[in-house]
Chains A and B, each alone.
Chain A
Amino acid sequence: SASDQAGPAARKLMTEHGVAAAQVTGTGKGGRITKADVEKTISDKEEKR
């Protein structure tokens, strides 16, 4: 689940933007997803549109 890969702030952002943990490349320790990783995924998605 997303909760064991990312902290609360990143989870919140994923929920907000409908991003699944599987879509995000985690750059934190052991592939953990940081808030910045989620932000990058969101901006990449928006660029593609």
Chain B
Amino acid sequence: MADKYDVIVIGGGPGGYVAAIRCAQLGFNTACIEKRINKQDEPALGGTCLNVGCIPSKALLDSSWKYHEAQSSLADHGIKLGDVSLDLDTMHKRKDTIVRNLTGGIAQLFKANKVTWLQGSGQLKSGKQVEFSALEGDAQTLQAEHIILAAGSVPVEIPPTPVDQKIIVDSTGALDLPEVPKRLGVIGAGVIGLELGSVWARLGSEVVVLEAVDTFLPTVDQQIAKDAKKQFSKQGMDIRLGARVTGSEMKKNQVVVNFTDKDGDQQETFDRLIVAVGRRPYTEGLLSQDAGVSLDERNFVYVDNQCRTDVPGVYAIGDLVRGPALAHKAIEEGVMVAEVIAGEHTQVNYDAVPGVIYTHPEVAWVGKTEEEVKESGDAYKTGAVPFAANGRAMAAGETGGMVKFVADEKTDRILGMHVVGPQASELIQQGVVAMEFGATIEDLQLMVFGHPSLSETVHEAALAVDYKAIHVAQRRRKK
């Protein structure tokens, strides 16, 4: 094993592995350090996203939705199934197979690109040195021209509800519950809490979501958030806002959770409790005392627009640094840093990073919310159109939700797109593409959209901004 590389990446998650591959493509001798051991006791690449995040949660979301459909809505299509039963073990095994195939795929990509995978942990030292402690074998010091820190994040724990990964679990434990809890508590009505709550609610749990903040999805456009909350509540998710958890107590195989809300002290008993209040940058053991890399007040590694740390030649990307903790954000930062190292002028457009919640219906957004634009004081216009007016949505039996645009009144430029509804995760990319090309609302109005398609609701929402929507009754408000 060589002890000198052009680039060493610490962390093999979406940011790190992509950075490593892109560096290799650009001709750098690259190593990627990753210490994760998966459920099968094998070293695994892919980080949180592939192993215990995006991918396994989507596998369970899709499986649980099919189960829910078979039970509740296939009869509407004239399909009778008789008794529908759940085989949770098979559902988990399917998810585990998907995860293993994907993480194994990255190892193959590393081989094909000649990226050296160093199995173990890495610590940044001064003078662009990395101390590598192998999973098996001794520690050694490695040297690199460039070092990319991509150590990711871990779930935030809160003192009132210590995680034991049995009764009280974090997002990782929530992906592997051995049976469907009768009563499930979720602390945190963010992306993770809502997705995991949805999975188990569809499989039969009575789900109560406790959220400390008074506003539902405060960073999402509030017209969209309100519609989403209505739909989630209809599906049986009991979302309690302004509910602050103060303590918990184990009673046999249950947990009693104490919380306060506007009505005073409350108590709920759950068979399982998921703690999903947020994630924090994972810096433990990453930096030696003399590494020279500074952290900001929230413990993120401090970086500039192109992810340079305070130390020349040392970069940091992904959940370790400011910005949304999203796989695609980490990925693009990984690509950017690799290209910056190669002397290119790549930049990430942080103004057009889409966000998605993979509930049913899905929630997705890009750009500014109406609240944000209103606060900026600029003149703006909006248009929103429900999927209920869309033929394709009716055919699919998925008529809940809407598409909404926010645009600049003067320039007509699209400032934000917001969707709650079927395939929102796919539809939102139309907004991303449009915004990347500096499109105006009129640009979208003038395009031909295939019929019948869910995308027509995107078209109609763009038309609605200027009171030109065809399939909804719109009356121009008098100014």
Report B's interface with A, CB cutoff 8 A: 411-412, 436-440, 442-443, 446-447
Contacts and interface: CB of A to CB of B under 8 A. Distances in A.
Contacts of A35: 411-412, 440, 442-443
Given A35-B412, A36-B411, A9 B438 contact: no
A7 B442 CA distance: 10
A6 B436 CA distance: 13
A34 B442 CA distance: 12
Contacts of B443: 7-9, 35
A42 B443 CA distance: 19
A12 B446 CA distance: 9
Interface string A6-32: 011100100000000000000011001
A32 B447 contact: no
Contacts of B411: 35-36
Contacts of B438: 7, 28-29, 32, 34
A3 to B, nearest CB: 12
Contacts of A7: 437-440, 443
Given A7-B439, A9-B446, 20 more contacts: A7-B440, A7-B443, A8-B446, A8-B447, A9-B412, A9-B439, A9-B440, A9-B442, A9-B443, A12-B446, A28-B437, A28-B438, A29-B436, A29-B437, A29-B438, A32-B438, A35-B411, A35-B440, A35-B442, A35-B443
Interface residues of A, number: 10
Contacts of B439: 7, 9
B356 to A, nearest CB: 25
A9 B223 CA distance: 28
A16 B320 CA distance: 51
Nearest to B436: A29
A41 to B, nearest CB: 16
Most buried by A among B412, B436, B440: B440
A8 B442 CA distance: 8
Nearest to B440: A9
Contacts of A28: 437-438
A38 B442 CA distance: 14
Contacts of B437: 7, 28-29, 32
A2 B277 CA distance: 50
Contacts of B412: 9, 35
Nearest to A39: B411
27 contacts: A7-B437, A7-B438, A7-B439, A7-B440, A7-B443, A8-B442, A8-B443, A8-B446, A8-B447, A9-B440, A9-B442, A9-B446, A12-B442, A12-B446, A28-B437, A28-B438, A29-B437, A29-B438, A32-B437, A32-B438, A34-B438, A35-B411, A35-B412, A35-B440, A35-B442, A35-B443, A36-B411
A35 B408 CA distance: 13
A12 B411 CA distance: 16
Nearest to A28: B438
A28 B442 CA distance: 17
